[in-house]
Amino acid sequence: MASLLPLLFFFFFASPSLVNAKSNSTITSINRDLYHSSADLLEQIKALVHRHPDKLTAETIKTGNKGYKAEITVVTYCRSRKETDDRSKFRILLSFGQHGRELITTELAFRILSVLSEEQFLPDVDAASLNNTLDKLIIKVVPMENLNGRKLVEEGDLCERRNGRGVDLNRNWSVDWGKKEKDYDPYEENPGTGPFSEPEAQIMRKLALTFDPHIWVNVHSGMEALFMPYDHRNTTPDGVLSERMRSLLSKLNNVHCHKHCMIGSGGGSVGYLAHGTATDFMYDIVKVPMAFTFEIYGDTAASSKDCFKMFNPVDLTTFNRVLNDWSSAFFTIFKLGPLQLDGNHSKAMASGVDKFVSIDEYLDGYLMERRNRYGKKMEVLDVGMQEIRTYFRLFLLSSVLLLFMFCSRIAKGKSSRPIVSALSI
């Protein structure tokens, strides 16, 4: 019996640790040798901007509601800072890191900015030709849209894609918001309490509406794909713009994606419909002529629980290949995008009429702008935002009713006057 005690002790106390070690061995941790921390990456980007003030500027936009705060850094590339508001230039808006677990996307943002600043170079690209292309562009880069979610990943929640309060930022936009498919996963796809309930989405909406880009690209990982609208339908749009989008994606697939990227609508290609996405909003509401979602990497052999490996390269060779291939792809977009759209013509064609912006969108954007300017003194507006909307709607309704009553009185007055025959004159 005494001889069994060591075995019993080992079974009850040692074996659980061995089981955990075995299960944890399949979970890949963040490779700190390859990937920057969120804080370090943003500091590196700000230092890059500081070294190249002739090409790059940066601003950090902060906002929040209901005790939740968010901030987004936006880097603007323009070869002459005096022309950053020049509406004649071709405008491109790029967003990375919308989902916290997709670290490789933020590294790609840093690589693209490094090439734009000429601290790094693309192979087999003529510098003079590239500069001639870039002279005509204004490029805004959001290197890390979901900073709060990224911090959760860095703290150990490697599968987290949502923001700091559990909302999927790519389900929080207004186009077809809140619809739930049969395979809806509340953990993965929580759309929030309403369209643009999240400060990060509010900042991005305001940025898109004011910048009014010709091209939008939302960069993700998890697979290799080049998606165009729509995410909430299994079809692509009709017309010339759709054909031009598909043509550009085909060229990118052939040259940079080694012909194995999936091409088509997000909803029709990925196997499920997504509602309330940024790209559908950009195309339908902002009227961006070319709106894309790129998926730049995915390890299909990785376990669904091994999220870091599933969404991010884990070895140096693959890491460099992904960054080299996709940074080259973006510079192909910078070159071919304006040619595909014939300059600014297709932007006007896509808009057709002035963009309709709802009362809610206008007020949210106005209040966010005031809050960014005046800081904490404006936090009280978060509490009264719904009341302001309500009073504004009541004002509009009362104005319409008064106008209706006024017109009715005039009509009644005219009908009560005696009719004078022309013969009495």
Name the residue among 167, 140, 3 with its Cα closest to residue 85.
Answer: 140
How far is it, in rounded angstroms, from Cα 248 to Cα 333? 8
The answer to whether 72 and 145 are in contact (CB under 8 A) is: yes
Count Cβ atoms below 10 Å from residue 211 Cβ, excluding itself.
Answer: 18
DSSP state of 341: T
How far is it, in rounded angstroms, from Cα 69 to Cα 333? 34
222, two tokens: 């998890």
How far is it, in rounded angstroms, from Cα 311 to Cα 331? 23
Name the residue among 178, 230, 179, 171 with its Cα closest to residue 200.
Answer: 171
**Could you tell me if residue 102 is left (phi over 0), alpha (psi between -120 and 50 degrees) or otherwise beta?**
beta
Counting runs of H as helices and runs of E as strands, what totals does the chain give?
Answer: 16, 8
Strand 68-77 and strand 56-65: the pairing is antiparallel
In the three-class reduction of DSSP (H, G, I as helix; E, B as strand; rest coil), residue 398 is classed as helix
- Strand spans (E) along 78-159: 90-96, 137-142
The answer to whether 8 and 139 are in contact (CB under 8 A) is: no
In the three-class reduction of DSSP (H, G, I as helix; E, B as strand; rest coil), residue 30 is classed as coil
Q: In DSSP terms, which residues pair with 68 in a beta bridge?
A: 65
The answer to whether 369 and 381 are in contact (CB under 8 A) is: no
How far is it, in rounded angstroms, from Cα 307 to Cα 305? 6
Q: In DSSP terms, which residues pair with 90 in a beta bridge?
A: 137
How far is it, in rounded angstroms, from Cα 262 to Cα 421? 78
159, two tokens: 């599968």
CA 100 to chain centre: 12
How far is it, in rounded angstroms, from Cα 309 to Cα 348? 43
The answer to whether 359 and 393 are in contact (CB under 8 A) is: yes
The one catalytic residue among 107, 189, 198, 295:
295
Could you confirm whether 295 is annotated as catalytic?
yes
Q: Could you list the active site residues? A: 295
